Copies of this chain bind each other. A is one copy, B any other.
Amino acid sequence: MLSLSIYKQSWRCQYRIMNQDKKSGYHHGSLKESLILHAFNLLDEAGPDAVTIRAVARRAQVSHAAPANHFHDRTALLTELATRLFQMLDADVRRKLSEAESADRARAYMEALLEFGLRHPNRYLLMWRQDLVDWDDDALSACMDALYDSFVNELANLPRQSGRDPHTLAISLWSMIHGYVTLRLNGVFKDRSDEVSGANRAAAMLDLMLAQ
Contacts and interface: CB of A to CB of B under 8 A. Distances in A.
Interface of A: 47-49, 128, 130-131, 135, 144-145, 148, 152, 164-165, 167-169, 171-172, 174-180, 182-183, 185-189, 192-193, 201, 204-205, 208-209, 212
Contacts of A148: 192
A129 to B, nearest CB: 8
For chain A, what secondary structure do more than half of its interface residues adopt (helix, strand, loop), or is it mixed? helix
A179 B152 CA distance: 17
A212 to B, nearest CB: 6
Contact of A209 (B130, B131, B135, B209): B209
Nearest to A166: B193
A203 to B, nearest CB: 10
B168 A205 contact: yes
Contact of A204 (B168, B201, B208): B168
5 contacts: A128-B183, A172-B176, A172-B204, A172-B205, A178-B183
Contacts of A47: 131
Nearest to A152: B193
A48 B144 CA distance: 25
Q: Which 4 pairs between the two chains have the least Cβ-Cβ distance?
A: A179-B179, A175-B179, A175-B180, A178-B179
A130 B189 CA distance: 13
B49 A130 contact: no
